[in-house]
Amino acid sequence: MSTIIPAPDALIGRRFDVAVAKMMGVSRAKATELIETGQARVIGRELNKSGILQLGDTVEINVVEEQREPEPISDEMTIAYEDDDIVVVDKPVGVAAHASVGWTGPTVLGSLLQRGVHITSMGAPGRQGIVSRLDVGTSGLMLVCKSDLAYKEMRRQFSEHEVKKTYHALVQGNLKEDRATIDAPIGRAKVSDFRFCVTPAGKEAITHWDVLERFGEATLASINLETGRTHQIRVHFSSIGHPLVGDPMYGANPKLSEALGLERQWLHAMELEFRHPRTHVTTVVSSHYPADLQHALDVMRQRHQLRDQNHEESVISE
């Protein structure tokens, strides 16, 4: 089956083999094979694997899917909102947005399809209907499009930063301000294919945050993303010396993570606010903390209260 995809904004200016690999979730070697066999091409102009994808390009992908083992379904994934155009899931940790090379666990898209939820065919193969993603290690709300109309409109709203995405994060240390903005470009780190960093050569990234609760050794913050770069919250807070609790990739203290019983970063996508793609009515979908994050927060509050009690007793004894 042939799939037509407008060149994603994030891939404009990249080599065609790199773009195809990203769009399809395959290796560059596999992407090169698809290009050389004509299964992946740019409509209207000749482009080899090293050619540069340009603004306005449309990619056609025609791949015969290989037989693979059935993907496991995430029974824990609940639906927070659904109508004929969109479905918003509350994604658990350990569930990927879509299938990719080397990933054998459940995915949002696969679990929805196996539950019988109709998803638009628009989008890259294996990623149809998806207009934004969450990391495997991040839980919370994620929107998937069921209709073509929704895919076109929600893709536009996300790309133009019209969707309000609110996250809650527990970061190490005591944030100095009650409210602030981090405006620092993010790009891929040279030391790893999986890490990102603040770099002048990166893409614009803007993160707004407000303090919700202070514990001295950590701070609970509400975060709004003006942009949507990979690992944006994790990279930005690490860059100002406050990595997310439970996030060793970006500098978290493993002893604190262990004390709180955390096995992943304390980060949850709490709320999505957008204009409904068909009715244009402002729609707000909210979530709540999953059990592991709630437990870690409860332990953090207990530690804070205990330190306060010890401090008061020390003052009294003096």
Angle, helix 16-24 to helix 28-36, in steps of 10 degrees: 110
Annotated catalytic, 308? Answer: no
Q: DSSP E strands: which ranges in the chain?
A: 2-6, 40-42, 58-62, 78-82, 86-91, 139-145, 164-172, 179-183, 186-188, 196-198, 206-214, 218-225, 267-275, 282-286
**AA letter at 47:** L
The end-to-end CA distance of the chain, in Å, is 78
Q: Which residues contact 191 (CB under 8 A, 6 or more apart)?
A: none
**Dihedral of CA 145/227/233/295: which sign?**
negative
Catalytic residue (choose from 135, 148, 193, 298): 135
**Whose CA is closest to 246, among 206, 209, 290?**
290
CB 189 within 8 Å of CB 197: yes
Distances (CA, A) of 119 to 4, 95, 100, 127, 278: 16, 18, 18, 10, 16
The residue behind tokens 């995430």 is 74
Categorise residue 44: left if φ over 0, alpha if ψ from -120 to 50, beta otherwise: left
The helix/strand/coil state of 177 is coil
**Dihedral of CA 276/279/281/286: which sign?**
negative
* Residues labelled catalytic: 135
